[in-house]
Amino acid sequence: AQSVTQLDSHVSVSEGTPVLLRCNYSSSYSPSLFWYVQHPNKGLQLLLKYTSAATLVKGINGFEAEFKKSETSFHLTKPSAHMSDAAEYFCVARNYGGSQGNLIFGKGTKLSVKP
């Protein structure tokens, strides 16, 4: 069965320092993977997606993620955190089995940015 594991429920960084949000997946198929961000009391915004093209995916707001098949990982990074990056981040995989059309969500990582 497919699954998505976000390894940290909460990450705290200082403004201007790098951000690393970790995500591991399990899938029998070539996965489609996404990162979404949700600011407080807002909907989900797509940051970036991997769909079997380049393994290094660049997204909006300076974020990028690298798909590593050997490590079954899709970690999200940003060189320098900004206060506006404080939000909940979801790593998501497409579900190729079971109920078609589902996205499989990780439990989320809350990113806090200190001044």
Partner 1 sequence: DTEVTQTPKHLVMGMTNKKSLKCEQHMGHRAMYWYKQKAKKPPELMFVYSYEKLSINESVPSRFSPECPNSSLLNLHLHALQPEDSALYLCASSQDPPTSGEGKTQYFGPGTRLLVL
User: Which residues would be at the binding site for partner 1 (CB under 8 A)?
Assistant: 32, 34, 36, 41-46, 49, 51, 90, 94, 99-103, 105-108
> Could you tell me the two tokens for 109?
């990582």
- Least distance to partner 1 from the beta carbon of 72, Å? 19
- Least distance to partner 1 from the beta carbon of 52, Å? 11
Indicate the residue type of 110: K
**Residue among 14 and 26 whose Cβ is closer to partner 1:** 26
**Residue among 10 and 17 whose Cβ is closer to partner 1:** 10
Indicate the residue type of 76: L
- Least distance to partner 1 from the beta carbon of 39, Å? 10
Who's near 70: CB < 8 A, 6+ residues apart?
A: none
85: Cα within 13 Å, side-chain hemisphere: 29
